[in-house]
Every structure is written in structure tokens, then in C-alpha cells.
Amino acid sequence: MLQVKVINQSGHELPKYETHGAAGLDLKANIEEAVELKPLQRALIKTGIFIEIPEGYEAQVRPRSGLAYKYGVTVLNSPGTIDADYRGEVGVILVNLSDQPFVIENGERIAQLVFAKVEQAEWSESNGLSETNRGAGGFGSTGKK
């Protein structure tokens, strides 16, 4: 199991996996007063959590499906990447895509945190790329099914 150092300045319990098979830990809002997100408004919501991710890993901040489905509230830069060398407070950029205001309360679960392995690439400049059936076909080129 991946070991991640954490400092919790939130006043809430540490983020945890809500079920045995869950991929993400739930992040909670750490705010002094409720934040109202009007339709199409965004806000940076702090968590009070600081982490030290081992080299070769990242943390991804992802939306909670319940907030997205029930209220139209999601993570704006999804997934947000937290690099292994970042030591600041974990923040979540939330956006309200609904037509109704949404209020975020202190301690509310606002996003998920997923840890993933990453590799850095080394460029190998070339004058050509190998051929494939798809070729340069881009967005929607493989059809709708």
C-alpha cells in the first residue's frame, strides 16, 4: 500500500475511503463560513490537508458523482493534478453548472482524491511516426456506437 505523509489542519478527520473497493478518498471543505456558488460561478475551496506524495506518483482531484448528478457541481479542472513536489494545501476548484445556487458547508465532502503512478517521458525526435489503422483521425473519427 502506498504510504503518503499528511498534515491535517482541517479540524475534520483525515480523508478516507468510504467503501472497501473505493478508488478515491473523500476530501472535505475546510471553510470558516458557508460558500454559495451561483450558477456558472467557481470557487477555490480549501481542505486543510497538506500531503507529501512519493516520487513517481501523483494525486488526482476528481468530482464526486453525487454532487455532479444531483446538483450540477463538479471539479472545474478535472482531474486536477497534484504533483509529487507540491507541498501546499490541497484545494479544489468547484464550479456550479446548474441553474440553481448551491451552498458548500464546512466539512462537506466536495471531491475525491485518487493516487496514481506516473512516468516522465523523454522525447525522441523523429521525422515520421509508425502507421496505424486510425492514423491522424481525431475527435469522433472512430464513429458513434
Strands 89-96, 109-117: pairing is unpaired
Beta bridge partners of 95: 42, 74
**According to CATH, what is the number of the domain 5-117?**
2.70.40.10
pLDDT of residue 145 exceeding 70, the answer is no
| Confidence grade of residue 136 (pLDDT, cut at 50, 70, 90) | confident
Cell of 143: 464513429
Q: What is the mean pLDDT of residues 114-121?
A: 97
Quick one: what percent of the chain has pLDDT higher than 90?
A: 89
Write down the mean pLDDT value for the chain.
95
pLDDT of residue 24 exceeding 80, the answer is yes
pTM exceeds cut of 0.75 = yes
The rounded distance, in Å, linking the Cα atoms of 36 and 92 is 15
